[in-house]
């Protein structure tokens, strides 16, 4: 039995990934913004004894290769000649989707049109006559609701049926002329009018009203800030409680482990190394870093699913235009909140090479999920702790928003400098699609991303925090003369670190945190504990530990700024190398934010020293 190749194709943001997940049972990341699927996803499924290999192609607008993703999709169709091409269309936006469908149906014979999001269309009172559509397009049409897997079996049946027809080996994609485009656009309109009946002429009025509010002159920016603050507030609130709880459990467990290991007569040194080296580091990552990461991520995913992010890009475009950057850079920055490495991949939505590099080089100025808890911890320990009660939350959230805005400002300034120096050029033309709002699947998103994030962080904690904890323990317990290697090492870094308001331990933590940013604070804690007298402390005493080791407000501020402005993590660097295919640009992406951080921290530290703070 041969495996049949199936390609999913369609306009950006029509739910191809959801159809893909529905057919294959995989869980590729989905989101409500055009251009989310940037790499090719493969999957397989078996239907009635026939095996299928499915590929999810990046969203394209037409069969003319204008952007890298379009070239990828078109090359695939040209060279791989899939047995069946499934065109996925958004039922709420059919006229536009039919344009591409018509072009593909002209070039290929084994084509199926899959009309997705029928539930959304029904809600909006859009009635689609699928039989007429099939007749006029002269291809099979299947209506589905991929999110709830409705009718996916019928789609599978149709794929099986169509795949039995011999594929046309000579199908070629001609270059399109203006006449052909005009023809397909006009045909799309004619077919649309023949098949679609609108119960309400103003079916998208709620979307338009919402758009007018969230992009209005007076409310556009305040709503953006409020939403950001709300997400931060929920994260802070939730994280605090869970943090304390996790800390209590994990450090309580430590005593039991100690008793257990001792009862096995394990050597004292081994117990010491495993518990106070490895276990504690992991416990700090899990108790301090995991909760904010696990709470922020689902909230951000909800925002992404709703379709709000492209509106942010719409509102912010003026700033990016002034910085000679691409308007979609705002979208890639938003993705940076989740993960800088993923955001680097998402930069593929920017067609022009110059502007894409600009977005890649500056992406690290957005604090990712792994650095976010560090900011929260520092703000709540040193800046928001002065007042009590609700005011404390307001200050903490306000400061967090201010830090993020500072990151955005640095991004814009650096983008502008890049566009005047090594990345000279004018902004290319761009079109930003504002997709229909969709109600996020709250329960599903929250549970899914909560689990995903937790497993991800736990996995990284084991892989990265374990060796880091081990290194610190070994260094702290290896002596040459009177001082431990750890002290020699951090003392050597001290003079330089002092210039930028940090100390040797903090700088070392950032360097050791290169594989994963979430281990920076745990390393700082572990190092201070290894060299000091405190061996047990709860989360509330963290500040005491830091202050005892010479931390001032200046130290906290500089650590916070350096956390925002420093080299990207290892994974991100590798992704940049992969995306730019150049070590030179990877080096630039490493050096630019680091230099920014050093300069900013130096100025801040020296100014505050002079002022005597």
Partner 1 sequence: MNDKLLPLDRLRVGQKGVVMDIAATDSEKRRFWDLGLIRGTTVESLHKSPSGDPIAYFIMGAVIALRNYDAEKVLVASSM
Applying CB under 8 A, among 40, 44, 47, 64 the residue interacting with partner 1 is 64
Give residues 135-164 in contact with partner 1 (rule: CB under 8 A).
Answer: none
Place of tokens 């599903």: 444
The secondary structure element, H or E, covering residue 5 is strand 4-10
The Cα–Cα gap between 66 and 64 comes to 6
Whichever of 198 and 587 has its CB closer to partner 1, that residue is 198
Examine residue 61 and tell whether it contacts partner 1 (CB under 8 A): yes
* Minimum distance, C-beta of residue 441 to partner 1, in the bound complex (Å): 23
Whichever of 144 and 432 has its CB closer to partner 1, that residue is 432
Examine residue 211 and tell whether it contacts partner 1 (CB under 8 A): yes
Q: Is 411 helix (H, G, I), strand (E, B) or coil?
A: helix
Sequence length of the chain is 613
Whichever of 38 and 93 has its CB closer to partner 1, that residue is 93
Stretch that binds partner 1, among 107-115, 204-212, 285-293, 529-537 (CB under 8 A): 204-212
* Minimum distance, C-beta of residue 425 to partner 1, in the bound complex (Å): 14
* Cβ–Cβ under 8 Å, residues 89 and 14: yes
Q: What is the 3-state secondary structure (H, E, C) of 244-294?
A: HHHHHHHHHHHHHHHHHHHHCCCCHHHHHHHHHHHHHHHHHHHHHHHHHHH
Whichever of 170 and 179 has its CB closer to partner 1, that residue is 179
Q: Which residues contact 142 (CB under 8 A, 6 or more apart)?
A: 112, 113, 114, 115, 130, 151, 154, 155, 158
Whichever of 11 and 554 has its CB closer to partner 1, that residue is 11
* Minimum distance, C-beta of residue 185 to partner 1, in the bound complex (Å): 5
The Cα–Cα gap between 136 and 116 comes to 18
Q: At what angle do helices 390-420 and 583-611 cross, to 10 degrees?
A: 130
Whichever of 435 and 440 has its CB closer to partner 1, that residue is 435
Examine residue 186 and tell whether it contacts partner 1 (CB under 8 A): yes
* Joined tokens for residue 138: 């002269």
CB burial of 418-432 (b: ≥16 within 10 Å; e: otherwise) equals bbeeebeeebeebeb
The Cα–Cα gap between 108 and 364 comes to 43
Q: For 503-548, give the DSSP string.
A: -HHHHHHHHHTSS-GGGHHHHHHHHHHHHSS-----GGGHHHHHHH
Examine residue 188 and tell whether it contacts partner 1 (CB under 8 A): yes
Give residues 323-352 in contact with partner 1 (rule: CB under 8 A).
Answer: 327
Examine residue 217 and tell whether it contacts partner 1 (CB under 8 A): yes
Examine residue 585 and tell whether it contacts partner 1 (CB under 8 A): no
Whichever of 188 and 303 has its CB closer to partner 1, that residue is 188
Examine residue 543 and tell whether it contacts partner 1 (CB under 8 A): no
CB atoms within 10 A of CB 408: 16
Examine residue 317 and tell whether it contacts partner 1 (CB under 8 A): yes
Examine residue 106 and tell whether it contacts partner 1 (CB under 8 A): no
Whichever of 99 and 484 has its CB closer to partner 1, that residue is 99
Place of tokens 């509330």: 540
Whichever of 222 and 532 has its CB closer to partner 1, that residue is 222
* Residue 130 to residues 50, 137, 161, 192, 360, Cα–Cα distance (Å): 27, 10, 18, 11, 43
Q: Is 425 helix (H, G, I), strand (E, B) or coil?
A: coil
The Cα–Cα gap between 376 and 395 comes to 12
Whichever of 277 and 427 has its CB closer to partner 1, that residue is 427
* Cβ–Cβ under 8 Å, residues 549 and 505: yes
Q: Is 31 exposed, middle or buried (0-12, 13-18, 19+ CB in 10 A)?
A: buried
Applying CB under 8 A, among 136, 159, 299, 432 the residue interacting with partner 1 is 432
Site map for partner 1, 83-102, x if CB under 8 A? Answer: ----------xxxx--x---
Stretch that binds partner 1, among 25-33, 58-66, 440-448, 482-490 (CB under 8 A): 58-66
Examine residue 314 and tell whether it contacts partner 1 (CB under 8 A): yes
* Minimum distance, C-beta of residue 97 to partner 1, in the bound complex (Å): 8
Q: Which residues contact 524 (CB under 8 A, 6 or more apart)?
A: 505, 506, 509, 546
The Cα–Cα gap between 439 and 415 comes to 34
Stretch that binds partner 1, among 59-67, 476-484, 504-512, 518-526 (CB under 8 A): 59-67
Examine residue 427 and tell whether it contacts partner 1 (CB under 8 A): yes
Examine residue 489 and tell whether it contacts partner 1 (CB under 8 A): no
Whichever of 311 and 460 has its CB closer to partner 1, that residue is 311
Whichever of 304 and 317 has its CB closer to partner 1, that residue is 317
The Cα–Cα gap between 326 and 358 comes to 9
* Minimum distance, C-beta of residue 209 to partner 1, in the bound complex (Å): 10
Applying CB under 8 A, among 265, 429, 533, 535 the residue interacting with partner 1 is 429
The Cα–Cα gap between 366 and 164 comes to 50
Examine residue 233 and tell whether it contacts partner 1 (CB under 8 A): no
Examine residue 53 and tell whether it contacts partner 1 (CB under 8 A): no
Question: Number of residues in contact with partner 1, rule: CB under 8 A?
Answer: 41
DSSP conformational letter for 562: H
Examine residue 127 and tell whether it contacts partner 1 (CB under 8 A): no
CB atoms within 10 A of CB 474: 14
Task: Please name which of 17, 25, 18 lies closest in space to residue 44, comparing C-alpha atoms.
Answer: 25
Applying CB under 8 A, among 48, 170, 172, 178 the residue interacting with partner 1 is 178
* Minimum distance, C-beta of residue 148 to partner 1, in the bound complex (Å): 24
The secondary structure element, H or E, covering residue 4 is strand 4-10
Applying CB under 8 A, among 181, 227, 422, 488 the residue interacting with partner 1 is 181
DSSP conformational letter for 374: H
Examine residue 58 and tell whether it contacts partner 1 (CB under 8 A): no
Applying CB under 8 A, among 78, 193, 200, 212 the residue interacting with partner 1 is 212
* Joined tokens for residue 21: 């997940």
Examine residue 22 and tell whether it contacts partner 1 (CB under 8 A): no
Q: Is 145 helix (H, G, I), strand (E, B) or coil?
A: strand
* Minimum distance, C-beta of residue 566 to partner 1, in the bound complex (Å): 32
Whichever of 139 and 331 has its CB closer to partner 1, that residue is 331
The Cα–Cα gap between 338 and 363 comes to 12
* Minimum distance, C-beta of residue 557 to partner 1, in the bound complex (Å): 31
Applying CB under 8 A, among 315, 392, 477, 594 the residue interacting with partner 1 is 315
Q: What residues line the site for partner 1 (CB under 8 A)?
A: 61-62, 64, 66, 93-96, 99, 178, 181-182, 185-186, 188-189, 192, 207-208, 211-212, 215-217, 220-221, 314-315, 317-318, 321, 327, 427, 429-436
């Amino acid at each position: 039995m041969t495996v049949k190749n199936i390609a999913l194709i369609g306009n950006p943001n029509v739910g191809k990934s959801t159809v893909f997940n529905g057919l294959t049972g995989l869980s590729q990341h989905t989101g409500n913004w055009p251009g989310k699927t940037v790499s090719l996803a493969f999957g397989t499924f078996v239907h009635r004894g026939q095996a299928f290999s499915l590929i999810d192609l990046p969203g394209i607008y037409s069969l003319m290769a204008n952007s890298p993703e379009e070239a990828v999709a078109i090359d695939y169709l040209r060279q791989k000649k899939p047995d069946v091409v499934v065109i996925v269309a958004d039922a709420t936006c059919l006229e536009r989707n039919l344009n591409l469908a018509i072009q593909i149906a002209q070039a290929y014979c084994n084509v199926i049109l899959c009309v997705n999001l029928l539930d959304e269309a029904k809600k909006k009172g859009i009635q689609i006559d699928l039989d007429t559509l099939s007749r006029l397009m002269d291809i099979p049409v299947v209506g589905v609701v991929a999110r709830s897997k409705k009718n996916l079996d019928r789609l599978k049946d149709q794929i099986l049926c169509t795949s039995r027809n011999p594929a046309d080996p000579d199908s070629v994609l001609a270059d399109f002329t203006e006449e052909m485009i005009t023809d397909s656009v006009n045909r799309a309109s004619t077919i649309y009018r023949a098949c679609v009946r609108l119960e309400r002429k103003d079916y998208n009025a709620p979307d338009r009203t919402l758009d007018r509010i969230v992009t209005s002159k007076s409310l556009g920016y305040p709503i953006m800030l409020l939403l950001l603050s709300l997400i931060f507030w929920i994260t802070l609130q939730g994280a605090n409680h869970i943090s304390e709880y996790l800390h209590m459990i994990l450090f309580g467990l430590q005593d039991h482990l100690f008793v257990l290991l001792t009862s096995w007569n394990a050597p004292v040194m081994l117990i010491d190394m495993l518990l106070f080296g490895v276990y504690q580091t992991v416990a700090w990552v899990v108790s301090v870093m995991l909760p904010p990461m696990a709470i922020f991520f689902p909230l951000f995913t909800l925002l992404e699913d709703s379709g709000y992010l492209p509106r942010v890009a719409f509102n912010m475009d003026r700033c990016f235009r002034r910085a000679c950057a691409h308007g979609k850079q705002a979208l890639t920055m938003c993705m940076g909140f989740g993960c800088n490495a993923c955001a680097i991949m998402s930069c593929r939505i920017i067609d022009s090479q110059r502007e894409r590099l600009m977005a890649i080089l500056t992406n690290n100025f957005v604090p990712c999920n792994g650095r976010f808890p560090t900011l929260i911890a520092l703000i709540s320990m040193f800046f928001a702790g002065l007042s009590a009660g609700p005011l404390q939350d307001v200050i903490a959230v306000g400061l967090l928003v201010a830090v993020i805005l500072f990151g955005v400002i640095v991004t814009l300034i650096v983008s502008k400098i890049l566009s005047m120096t090594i990345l000279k050029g004018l902004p290319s033309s761009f079109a930003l699609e504002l997709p229909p709002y969709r109600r996020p699947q709250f329960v599903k998103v929250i549970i899914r991303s909560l689990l995903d994030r937790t497993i991800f962080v736990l996995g990284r904690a084991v892989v990265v925090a374990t060796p880091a904890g081990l290194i610190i323990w070994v260094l702290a317990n290896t002596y040459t003369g009177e001082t431990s290697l750890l002290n020699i090492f951090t003392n050597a870094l001290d003079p330089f670190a002092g210039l930028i308001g940090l100390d040797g331990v903090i700088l070392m933590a950032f360097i050791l945190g290169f594989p994963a940013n979430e281990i920076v604070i745990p390393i700082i804690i572990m190092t201070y504990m290894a060299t000091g007298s405190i061996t047990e402390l709860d989360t509330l005493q963290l500040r005491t530990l830091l202050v005892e080791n010479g931390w001032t407000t200046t130290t906290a501020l500089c650590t916070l700024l350096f956390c925002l402005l420093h080299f990207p993590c290892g994974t991100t660097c590798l992704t940049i190398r992969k995306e730019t295919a150049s070590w030179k640009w990877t080096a630039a992406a490493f050096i630019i934010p680091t230099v920014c951080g050093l300069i900013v921290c130096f100025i801040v530290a020296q100014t505050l020293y002079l002022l005597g703070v």
